[in-house]
Structure 1
Amino acid sequence: MSYPGYPPSDGYPAFPGYPPTGQESVYPPAGQYPYPTTVPGGFPPSGGGTFPAAPPNAGFPGYSALGGYPASGSFPGAPQAGGMPPYSGGPGFAVPPTGPGFGGYPQQPPAQSYAGGGPAQIPGFPGGQVPSPMPGPPAAVVQYTQGTIQAAPNFDAGRDAEILRKAMKGFGTDEQAIINVVANRSNDQRQKIKAAFKTMYGKDLIKDLKSELSGNVEELILALFMPSTYYDAWSLRHAMKGAGTQESVLIEILCTRTNQEIREIVNCYKSEFGRDIEEDIRSDTSGHFERLLISMCQGNRDENQTVDYQKAQEDAQRLYQAGEGKLGTDESCFNMVLASRSFPQLKATVEAYSRIANRDLLSSIDREFSGNVERGLKTIVQCALNRPAFFAERLYYSMKGAGTDDSTLIRIVVTRSEIDLVQIKQMFTQMYQKTLATMIASDTSGDYRQLLLAIVGQ
């Protein structure tokens, strides 16, 4: 079984004793790294119990098909064919460390159970031990992601437009009324509110909001009212406009989006700003970083979710020979592999690389590259391993230390709010031993804080 989110990036706690030799271990070694794990199929569970955070609807979308568990315990509506699948929403099998198992699965043992390199003692397994590592690759895991903002039921664009009009009419502004609407509507619903507002009052909602608000809360609300593709394109244009370039914004957007998202962003950039994004990248960046971003702009990454383990082994060997295995670095080889392979394929390549090089790929990129191209390549690897963990790290460093990088905080909270912010919050807590909401509350204030907390689901 692979380790979600491994290898760690800068700032993550380390995995002592990694990488494993031969087949991957069923459980990660002891240490501070907080990711929970799933157990491969075939172990008969014992006892009963319920999974506390289970979705209420039958069928349980987001539970992977790593079958092999009999459907035991008191989990209603459990699929019978193929056994009880473990939960794989975001970071993995999120059973509380001291809580009961899911449908009869044993509770997760404390970290010290893994210490010493011996088998962990786990109640309910034959002999109380984890059996030897799995023979061969695991079955494909279907990842389930979830946003904190869902489309509002019983939505009425005209009624919401009226609420916003009243909130801005006359002396003063009712910021709470505005927050209640924008934080509880999907992006698509906000576009309909914007259209209804103009139809009903002959006024532009965005201009009215800008005249009533200021500072970070204005930037946040305007971001929420931008169509998602336009917001990404606007952020890229803003990052390259004027003196200087915000390379971290280019990396964050172009190295993490899907093919379809990137193609839509490129088209939107052209239609809305009358500019070619590749030409702007060439004029604002150079060298291997420029080539990496141009590769990303093609939106042509392989998206086949089936992993070719032989190709992963070959690519890992190729990357080793292009970096650690030679004097100097063949940058084009890294660009080719990391820009073209699917994310599941890259994850398998990373795991194969650690066996070949006796070092994880992120460490090798650290040693072989520097500057923006290093950050770009590491972002791609991190997203292949655990995308929510990448964004959790970005959020953490946007608020860590003196001052707050509000633009990064706003951009990630808004762009992930309907995609995987639930998983990002989970990873944030596991990685930094504090909740995202706690850190936002201590770093922001006023209506800005209130709206951010409403979006993240607090």
Structure 2
Amino acid sequence: MAYPGYPPSGYPAFPGYPPTGQESVYPPAGQYTYPAAPGGYPPAGGGSFPAAPPSTGYPEAGGYPAPGGFPAPGGFPGAPQAGGMPSYPGGPGYGVPPTGPGFGGYPQPPAQSYAGGGPAQIPGYPGGQAPSPMPGPPAAMVQYTQGTIQAAPNFDAGRDAEILRKAMKGIGTDEKAIIDVVSNRSNDQRQKIKAAFKTMYGKDLIKDLKSELSGNVEELILALFMPRTYYDAWSLRHAMKGAGTQERVLIEILCTRTNQEIREIVNCYKSEFGRDIEQDIRADTSGHFERLLVSMCQGNRDENQTVDYQKAQEDAQRLYQAGEGKLGTDESCFNMVLASRSFPQLRATAEAYSRIANRDLASSIDREFSGNVERGLKAILQCAFDRPAFFAERLYYAMKGAGTDDSTLIRIIVTRSEIDLVQIKQKFAEMYQKTLATMIASDTSGDYRRLLLAIVGQ
């Protein structure tokens, strides 16, 4: 499918854009209410459950990190105590949480039923019992995601187009005026400014910006004017185009996006670049890493928020037998579980695994795998526990040491600016004892620094 009205010329090597509105939506509305349970909520003698979260504003599947990881320091605010769930952390019936950068741990559910059914007898659970399948955590545990950029109130695309035209007209460029506009408008609003500019002046805004800007600030502003889905597809194509492959870009995008986002990226990749992303992945990667990426680009991860603890125990046993429990590694078993299970289900599986193997699942992946497939599997697992921590870690290593990986810095700041950059900033400060803004300020300069800091909210 071709997108009418595109391309706006001037984007490096890749013409074409998807139309406004093709960006992925966070989250599908109406998907996260508590299902009815025998006798209703709360279970008898089980304390009181908070009200179900609203149908809008709820984070993407599996995305309910609390600041500091799981469990939150001092317990989750609002979690029922007397007669209900044990207090966080360290209540009775809790297993050893996974460890490692960004994991933070996730409490094992207490050995009792939450959905009205009796507890199942499963070896390996405290007391031989596991809770019946239950929906995700109560609303008091949920940390809603939030971007640093919101749609500007009283938006006027024509007025903004005029500001940008004046900033670039004549000798010199008013970079401050450009930064003020692009850093305070949502991606959808930027698409409207681009259309208004061409209507009012008969000129292409992107061409004008490219003629006035250069270097990293040019790359950053062009990224901000790309619709989100197109930017992901463009980044993937760029990572596989020409000599060499940027495997970490493939992992960063394909292992962290929602099903809906991945399907839209795959469609955009085909329509805009005339290529099949799966064929490009097969041509540019190999072995178990290739198979993992092909699995991820299907966009078919289970999105059921109900946790089946029996299946979690079975998957954990399967993973143990495929890795730590045998000579050699059955890589296909790890691929199957980590590429297909929902994030809440993966958390439960990781908890069960730590009891069976006496080692957390991330450590076992370290021992059993290496290279890009190891990085990919760990990225999935880390996103299941705490997606903002994954991006915080990527940002830190993009700036750590000599030199800066500016493309990674730009890509993450831009793509998460309207989704969860607030939580990424919080996680960055917790993990590295310095703010994201402080590190950006020390690693960048000039208009590039000013625009990055404006986006992250400093």
How high is the TM-score relative to the length of structure 2? Answer: 0.73
Give 5+ residue unaligned stretches, structure 1: none
Deviation at 1:70, TM superposition (A): 21
Per-residue CA deviation, residues 190-242 of structure 1 (Å, 9 max, x unaligned), is 00000100111111111110110000000000000000000000000000000
Alpha-carbon distance change, 58 to 193 in structure 1, aligned in 2, over 3 angstroms: closer
Moved more, 446-455 or 344-353: 344-353
Other structure's SS at 1:207 match: helix
Alpha-carbon distance change, 205 to 434 in structure 1, aligned in 2, over 3 angstroms: same
Aligned to 2:259: 259
Deviation at 1:384, TM superposition (A): 0.3
Contact 2:148 2:417 in 1 (8 A): yes
Give 5+ residue unaligned stretches, structure 2: none
Deviation at 1:68, TM superposition (A): 21
Aligned mates of 1:317, 1:26 — CA distance in 2:
36
Contact 2:157 2:189 in 1 (8 A): yes
Aligned mates of 2:187, 2:19 — CA distance in 1:
44
Aligned mates of 1:201, 1:19 — CA distance in 2:
22
Deviation at 1:51, TM superposition (A): 21
- % identical aligned pairs: 90
- Post-superposition, which runs of at least 4 consecutive aligned residues in structure 1 deviate over 3 A? 1-9, 11-36, 38-106, 108-143
Per-residue CA deviation, residues 289-338 of structure 1 (Å, 9 max, x unaligned), is 00000000100000111111111111111100000000000000000000
Aligned mates of 2:352, 2:345 — CA distance in 1:
11
Alpha-carbon distance change, 54 to 86 in structure 1, aligned in 2, over 3 angstroms: farther
Contact 1:440 1:453 in 2 (8 A): yes
Per-residue CA deviation, residues 45-92 of structure 1 (Å, 9 max, x unaligned), is 999999999999999999999999999999999999999999999999
Aligned mates of 2:256, 2:306 — CA distance in 1:
20
Matched positions, count = 455
How high is the TM-score relative to the length of structure 1? Answer: 0.73
Other structure's SS at 2:388 match: helix
**How do residues 107-146 of structure 1 correspond to structure 2 at under 5 angstroms?**
141-146=141-146
Contact 1:157 1:193 in 2 (8 A): yes
Aligned mates of 1:263, 1:25 — CA distance in 2:
9
Contact 2:20 2:191 in 1 (8 A): no
Alpha-carbon distance change, 63 to 314 in structure 1, aligned in 2, over 3 angstroms: closer
Deviation at 1:143, TM superposition (A): 4.0
Alpha-carbon distance change, 8 to 42 in structure 1, aligned in 2, over 3 angstroms: farther
Alpha-carbon distance change, 264 to 34 in structure 1, aligned in 2, over 3 angstroms: closer
Alpha-carbon distance change, 69 to 445 in structure 1, aligned in 2, over 3 angstroms: closer
Deviation at 1:347, TM superposition (A): 1.1
Per-residue CA deviation, residues 225-262 of structure 1 (Å, 9 max, x unaligned), is 00000000000000000000000000000000000000
Contact 2:29 2:56 in 1 (8 A): no
Alpha-carbon distance change, 419 to 278 in structure 1, aligned in 2, over 3 angstroms: same
Alpha-carbon distance change, 180 to 230 in structure 1, aligned in 2, over 3 angstroms: same
Moved more, 309-318 or 416-425: 309-318
Aligned mates of 1:426, 1:8 — CA distance in 2:
36
Contact 1:87 1:94 in 2 (8 A): no
Contact 1:183 1:455 in 2 (8 A): yes
* RMSD of Structure 2 on Structure 1 (CA): 14.2
Contact 2:6 2:16 in 1 (8 A): no
Contact 1:19 1:359 in 2 (8 A): no
Other structure's SS at 1:348 match: helix
Aligned to 1:97: 98
Deviation at 1:416, TM superposition (A): 0.4
Deviation at 1:351, TM superposition (A): 1.2
Deviation at 1:352, TM superposition (A): 1.1
Aligned mates of 1:327, 1:197 — CA distance in 2:
64
Per-residue CA deviation, residues 25-59 of structure 1 (Å, 9 max, x unaligned), is 999999999999x9999999999999999999999
Moved more, 26-35 or 250-259: 26-35
Other structure's SS at 2:116 match: helix
Moved more, 331-340 or 93-102: 93-102
Moved more, 406-415 or 86-95: 86-95
Aligned to 1:163: 163
Alpha-carbon distance change, 149 to 91 in structure 1, aligned in 2, over 3 angstroms: farther
